[in-house]
Amino acid sequence: MKNKNYLIELIVPFLLIAVLALFLSPADLFMPMSQIAMLGVLLTVVFLIFTGFIWKEKAKDEREASHIQSAGRFSFITGLAIAVAGILWGSLRHNIDPWLIFTAIGMILTKVFFRVYQAQKN
């Protein structure tokens, strides 16, 4: 049973990546608008499943807790680096997507908020 859960937890992230990659194709070229709408629903469902896996993960010992924290730290840095790269690229083209800025601000504020919350809790 444990291997089945592990396999599902590996399949869901790659399914999420595949659905996200479909959004990169020019909409009029590959998919009509109705398929894009269905793809949005699929993205939402797969994202919620993926979020559920992340939310419920629990460490069994200190080593595993360290691995989870390291994965979270690297994920945060990678996400923020991609958002900053997108902002810089947009500034060079004089067309900055505001959602990149909102993403970077949201990531930073969430990190700061939970660091302060954990410090107050302990």
Cβ neighbours for 88, distance < 8 A, ≥ 6 positions apart: none
pTM to 2 decimals?
Answer: 0.75
Rounded alpha-carbon distances, angstroms, from residue 64 to 55, 59, 105, 111: 15, 5, 29, 21
Contact predicate 12/53, CB 8 Å: yes
Contact predicate 29/70, CB 8 Å: no
pLDDT tens-place string over residues 53-102: 888 888 889 988 888 888 889 999 999 999 999 999 999 999 999 999 99
Contact predicate 110/80, CB 8 Å: no
CA distance 59 to 39: 34
> Sorting pLDDT into bands at 50, 70 and 90, what band is 28?
low
Backbone angles phi, psi at 22, to 5 degrees: -65, -25
- What confidence score (pLDDT) does residue 90 get? 93
